[in-house]
Amino acid sequence: MSKFSDIQLQFPQDQVRRLLRETTGHGDEQSKGAIATFICKRPELAWDFVKAIAGSVEVFGTPGGGVIERRIPLELPESPDLFARSYDMTYRGRNRESNDPTPYGWVEVRVEFAVPPFNFQDQEWTSYRSQGAANYITIPNRMFYFADGEETHADIGVLVPERDMIYTRHWLPDVTACEDLCTAMQGRINSQPFRRCPAGTVLFLADSLATSTGILGGQLASDIQLSFRYRAVPWNFALHPIDADFQIITSDAGTHPYALDIDNPAFPGLTLDALLNI
């Protein structure tokens, strides 16, 4: 994690000077923020300074015993929950020394600090949102009867609750291995409980990647969004046409419509939880 003290050692006061901090936001934790202005007295140092506040790639342990890498930008000393997220540079003054080709005398770098959309201290590096829905599942061409023997004259079904679960993994310096894992896991279901959802009820749909440089000054970092769908009835269950209840279904070859995560030939033994530890 980039510390302000490290920045001061790398860029002493005679090279980079910090001005007063300007606070933004209205007290709300998510809107809380600050802007710090730095004066680079040597214009050629401006990009090196931006890269320095972008931070370096660090390695963190995960609860499962693995490791993840994240690029952690500069934190604001007065507010450790604020991290550099964007910047802009303005070239000012004019170097009047005739033997110096530099057209400007100094560079003003304004750095905006904000609260991340997640609590990185717990090493989850994840933000989460969900959307509830339901799916009406019917038994085609199956007639039901009322108590007096009258036919229903319509396909009768069951309303099954579902929930879309969107997890966004933030600040990944490299997503190559992550994308490979996501591709291999698409369309598979959980063999073990997943975030308090029983085995067989969570389907991994797809991933979408958002790459940003922003504060990183050319140092790449990305967010990857992982979409799962929970169904109250296991995905390999269907309505029985006679009993009218949900039962597991199997093909003549002994397979099920949805394969388990642990049976992935590219990543044997891994579960859907591996997607949230990248």
Residue numbers in the chain where pLDDT is lower than 50: 26-27, 213-214, 216
pLDDT of residue 214: 46
pLDDT of residue 162: 97
Give every CB contact of residue 184 below 8 A, 6+ residues apart in sequence. 264, 266, 267
For residue 157, being part of any structural domain is answered with: yes
Q: Of 116, 149, 167, at which residue does a domain stop?
A: 116
pLDDT of residue 228: 97
Which residues span the domain enclosing 139?
Answer: 126-276
Both 210 and 253 in one domain: the answer is yes
Tokens 């920045």 -> residue: 7
Both 160 and 111 in one domain: the answer is no
For residue 251, being part of any structural domain is answered with: yes
The model's pTM: 0.76
Both 72 and 100 in one domain: the answer is yes
pLDDT of residue 233: 96
Q: Of 72, 93, 116, at which residue does a domain stop?
A: 116
CA dihedral 231, 130, 173, 10 (to 10 degrees): -150
pLDDT of residue 144: 83
Tell me the per-residue pLDDT of 226-269, one tens digit each, with 9 for 90 and over: 999 999 999 999 988 888 889 999 999 999 999 999 999 999 99
Choose among 264, 265, 263, 261: nearest CA to 276.
261
For residue 121, being part of any structural domain is answered with: no
pLDDT of residue 32: 73
Both 218 and 108 in one domain: the answer is no
Both 160 and 272 in one domain: the answer is yes
